[in-house]
Structure 1
Amino acid sequence: MTAFPSIAAFEMALANLPPPDAASRAAAGHRQDMLTKPPGSLGRLEEIAIFMAGWQGRTRPRLDKGRAVVLAGNHGVATRGVSAFPASVTAQMVANFDAGGAAINALAAAAGLDLRIVAIDLDRPTMDFTQGPAMDAADCLAALNIGAAAVDADLDLLVLGEMGIANSTAAAALCAASFGGSAAEWAGPGTGVQGTALANKIAVIDAALAVHRPAATSPFDILCRLGGREIAAIVGAIVAARHAGVPVLLDGFICCSALAPFIGAHPDIADHCLAGHCSTEPGHARLLERLRLEPLLSLNLRLGEGSGAAVAAGIVRAALAAHDGMATFAEAGVATA
């Protein structure tokens, strides 16, 4: 079944994002106050448990069925020399994922997550967005639906990541088009470009912004013009998860950039999301501020693949274990005063 049969249906889904279950949040908060500890002494672990309760609609949320989804796509702008690696590496890394040899394979397994790899038309890169829109509306809508199809309503947590050579270029362009500023304010080394290579990357993004920033007519249009299929698929997965009552754990700069075009018109779009970490990509901390997300971890990660979010899933699991497994003062016979 197609989650978004039309652009109008996608925009309707954005306009009707459901809120968390207030009763479950309140009950989870009350339980936290009754557990054998001083109130607030587990810090963000308490906040995570209450957050998960609200979005799962359960006083005692669980993480029995967590899924990590890595979306992969190729970018036409890679031909402009914006990455330290050729576009062929995208397919090579997808093969590595499928063979179980990448970081995300090990980290998802350690976190107890089912791992799905979704490669989207790798033999058909998006258009070089210095020459025109990266995707037309139909292509972008198809990618949204590919992402939405990765979401099952019975999931307890969805962990999102990406793979795509040149997608940090697209991410920086999306942020600059959405929030303002020059490419230099948003672009970073990505796969490790420095010096003249980084200057070229910045120039390529500025060229794209000159074409598309004045012409963009809507958040969806910004995504079409400057995004990529895997980035659009991340948007589709996030919105579908919201309507399915599935909380989302986001990875790094590229993953979070998927929401950049939409946060202005829909400031609550990331309310059901946790930021797994803050990467070393210089624009990521600024982007998280715009999304009103506080990262769970800061480990100097910059790999992508969902790797940082998979590590952070262990924090979520710990928060839920404490929330569910601890005794209350009454159960333990511990005096409260």
Structure 2
Amino acid sequence: MTLTFDQTAVRGKLTANAPLAPLVWFKAGGHAQWLFEPKDLADLQDFLRALDPAVPLMALGLGSNMIVRDGGVPGVVIRLGKAFAKVTKVDDVTLDCGGGASGILVSSTARDAGIAGVEFLRSIPGTVGGFVRMNGGAYGGEVKDILIDCDVVLRSGELVTLGNADLGYTYRHSQLPEGAVVVSARFKGRTGEPAAIQAEMDRISAAREASQPLRSKTGGSTFKNPEGHAAWKLVDEAGCRGLTLGGAQVSEKHTNFLLNTGEATSEDIENLGDEVRRRVKDTSGVDLEWEIQRVGKRP
């Protein structure tokens, strides 16, 4: 569909045919028909109020757990910038976090404030908006354990506050309304000593460094852990460690990670993931579910 905008109607940055590969961890994929980076909350609300409800809409964080297909993403992709990346202490155990804030910023702010219980966010390469949407988790913690509530801008432009129970959290999933953009969230931890909090963050960082291919073009955990199973073990037992397809490869270091070894297309990466799923089904009878979000059109 042809989509045009009056650039003077927004105060943020609105870009047509914007390449998304530089914005995602896999460094592969097509363009956004339009990319909107709002200046502030009011700019985002005004934009959504004026946007035709039929236009597809997607929020993009750090792009760490996402395959952007080579045919690109139709409609509008919204990316929250610095105006949405602040983290402030509310009280002795609570943080108010912007939807664009990184897990590293949230966890380090918590450490400085003597708030324990959110150290696991240090290990998730994403933003608060993505954590809230996907019930992000690692190393024994997940967002549903610390979220009090969140502010979201609905597709209509209306700002609403949703409590933890409103999100219907399950494993790596929420019932956040379609097209909603998380602009802030309140996380509650517990009192702790900054030195002990830092020690736990260091432990998590060391564990990640030892077990995950952090210096590669990857998308994080590829498949959800099925009930009673570890996804990586199923992939390994299916003989997929190091398996390649085009420029994509199953990591030899951690088999639940896919890699772009250089010039992989998103189609290479997704097809490799589907081949892994087929082999796991054949060997174990288990249907692996994608954890990585796959968006856009195939070429």
TM-score scaled by structure 2? 0.27
Greater RCO, CA 8 A, separation 6+: 1
More helix by share: 1
More strand by share: 2
